[in-house]
Structure 1
Amino acid sequence: MRPIFSALQKTATRAWSAPARAARSAQVSSKLGSIAAKYRASQFRHISQSRQLADGLNVVDHPARLVRVNKKHGPGLIILALIPIISFGLGTWQVQRLDWKTKLMAKFEDRLVKPPLPLPPRIDPDAIEEFDYRRVYATGRFRHDKEMLVGPRMHDGEDGFVVVTPLEREGQSTVLVNRGWISRKFKDQKDRPLGVLDQEVTVEGLLREPWKKNMFTPDNKPEEGKFYFPDIHQMAELSGSQPVWIEETMVPDLIESYNREAKGIPIGRAAEVNLRNNHSQYIFTWYGLSLATSIMLWMVVRKNPNEAMRRVRQNRNW
């Protein structure tokens, strides 16, 4: 009996729920119809507005424009444009410096080939410029008690000092003589031969202008006997000499130089012009930089925008 009753119950339930399902289906269909009607009305209004706009505007009269994003390069391009101009100017200035240095060295070399002049009893410091690199000779006695060491100075990779000794001339002025370089181990006078103090000697060398101190050289400490650069006026005042600087010369001889270095005898300089002349390298550097930056500037200015930098901007009246 139970199976028969269950089947009758299921049949009654299906019969009772059919009207409810039909009512719900009618409601869903009504809502979908309403949504579709609203969409069609919206589309109709959009098409109508587009047609009204098209009646008043023409694409030919108001075309789209192809524009480039970040069209202006900004201050970076200005800086890049200034570099080749400035470097070209510096290269031209170095050309002028090279011409000046070449003529100056030629003038000094012409003075070197002339026979040495006797040093006058007293020298006008203002006239030394006209005799720079002129070969001169003077006779007197070295004042080893007033010796001054300038340094440190390197010679063939070894540390040492430049020996400056006043030369006292009988009945004439005392001058400063740069006798040459000695090794650091002969810094003390007792470790090297000085010769007889009252022995008269004749010194031959080059008359030079006063030295100029650069910004990286520390100040001298004369009260401590430390001289980092040859301040001729300071040394002259300290030793009671005229501010006249003579660089003692010697014939370049490797064996003689080794012998002097071993004994602590100052090694004099060669009678030659030793001015630095690197202006040719500077000219190549500055002109090369100007050319390279000019090419870079041309590439930046002439570079076409890629596809990622292209945009089409509509006319504002569309």
Structure 2
Amino acid sequence: MKTFSRLLRLSPRRISPKPTTTQQPPLNRRPISSTPRRPVKQAADDPTFTSILDNPPELIRTGGRRHGYGLIVLAIIPVTAFALGTWQVQRLKWKTDLIAKSEDRLVAPPLPLPPRIDPAAVPDFDYRRVLATGRFRHDQEMLIGPRMRDGEEGYMVVTPLEREGDGTTVLVNRGWISKSKRAQKDRKESLVDGVVTVEGLLREPWKKNMFTPDNRPDLGEFYFPDVVQMAQLTGSQPIWVEQTMEPDLFKIYEYQEKGIPIGRQAEVNLRNNHAQYIITWYGLAVATTIMFYILVKKPPTDVTRRVRLNKQW
């Protein structure tokens, strides 16, 4: 026991080290601003200040904006469409009367063409069937084109007809030929010699549009029938006669193969699309009127309402 106690006294003690705390040096923090603070002036410090709570509120639509120029344009569209629809009604009546008059002239017996014709009177005899007797001046032939027929390119053959007895000349649109038969040597059967009687329609030819080029008579190129110009070149009267023929399919194939001009049918071919235009314009007027009513009368929802500030604030 004494020995054990002695050993305990002689053995070194294990002393756990005490935790040491290291002291951090103070950080040198830089102040945010070295400028001394100034007292902030509030809006309420102004004796003339008026709060928004002192002004009466006003409920408006979303954004507080009134309808601008878009609404004005939308209001003009139905008025314009209605006016155009009414104008097309008048045009429909005019075109219907014109077609009826033309069909009445068409069913009348052919009228011998007088020696002298006033060009100003031609519109009153449009689609009138006439007879003219004389000789074709093939040396003064003119081709107008290109003109399409059943998807094939070709030309309209215009030949002056020198009438017997009075010696006057009129322009005759003999009909259509294919492009392959343009040269006279390729269609000798069409060059009728001797006295012939032509039955056709006294017509006002179609007019030039903005896409049609000008005629070049010096090169023999004609793109539209300028009757006055052609009459001056051939020394004929400015009268246009369109030769007619019966709609015989086998004869048309034969004429096309031989290069004989294919005349037009004796019928009125005036276009009358004014009824479609009336439906289109009136339909647009109704649709835009409904849109205008919905836009103006649509009530604002609770979410889209807000308080508009006084303009003087």
TM range (shorter): 0.7 to 0.9
Q: 1:190 aligns with which of 185, 189, 193?
A: 185
Amino acid at match of 1:119: L
Q: 2:115 aligns with which of 114, 121, 124?
A: 121
1:116-155 to structure 2, matched below 5 A, reads: 116-155=110-149
In structure 2, what is the Cα distance between the partners aligned to 1:247 and 1:66? Answer: 74
Q: Cα 1:317–1:163, aligned 2, differ >3 Å: closer, same or farther?
A: closer
In structure 1, what is the Cα distance between the partners aligned to 2:251 and 2:193? Answer: 25
Give 2:246's aligned residue: 251
Give 1:24's aligned residue: none
Return the TM-score normalized by structure 2: 0.79
Amino acid at match of 1:212: K
In structure 2, what is the Cα distance between the partners aligned to 1:186 and 1:137? Answer: 27
Matched, 1:174 2:169: yes
Q: Cα 1:197–1:261, aligned 2, differ >3 Å: closer, same or farther?
A: closer
In structure 2, what is the Cα distance between the partners aligned to 1:315 and 1:196? Answer: 92
Give 2:221's aligned residue: 226
Quote how far apart the aligned CAs of 1:315 are: 7.1
What CA RMSD, in Å, does the superposition of the two structures yield over aligned residues? 2.7
> More deviation in 212-221 or 272-281?
212-221
Q: Residue 89 of structure 2: SS of its match in structure 1?
A: helix
Matched, 1:288 2:283: yes
Q: 1:67 aligns with which of 33, 42, 60?
A: 60
Quote how far apart the aligned CAs of 1:308 are: 4.9
Higher helix proportion: 1
In structure 1, what is the Cα distance between the partners aligned to 2:153 and 2:290? Answer: 47
Amino acid at match of 1:64: P
Quote how far apart the aligned CAs of 1:117 are: 0.6
In structure 2, what is the Cα distance between the partners aligned to 1:316 and 1:267? Answer: 80
Matched, 1:83 2:77: yes
Percent identity (aligned): 66
Listed one character per residue, the Cα deviations across residues 254-283 of structure 1 (whole Å, up to 9, x for unaligned) are 111111111111100001110111111111
Amino acid at match of 1:208: R
Gaps of 5+ in 1: 11-45, 47-58
Give 1:264's aligned residue: 259
Give 1:39's aligned residue: none
Q: 1:300 aligns with which of 275, 295, 299?
A: 295
Gaps of 5+ in 2: 1-13, 21-43, 45-52
| Alignment length (residue pairs) | 269
Q: Residue 309 of structure 1: SS of its match in structure 2?
A: coil
Q: Residue 126 of structure 1: SS of its match in structure 2?
A: helix
Quote how far apart the aligned CAs of 1:312 are: 2.1
Quote how far apart the aligned CAs of 1:132 are: 1.1
In structure 2, what is the Cα distance between the partners aligned to 1:232 and 1:316? Answer: 72
Q: Residue 81 of structure 1: SS of its match in structure 2?
A: helix
In structure 1, what is the Cα distance between the partners aligned to 2:163 and 2:310? Answer: 98
Q: Cα 1:151–1:70, aligned 2, differ >3 Å: closer, same or farther?
A: farther
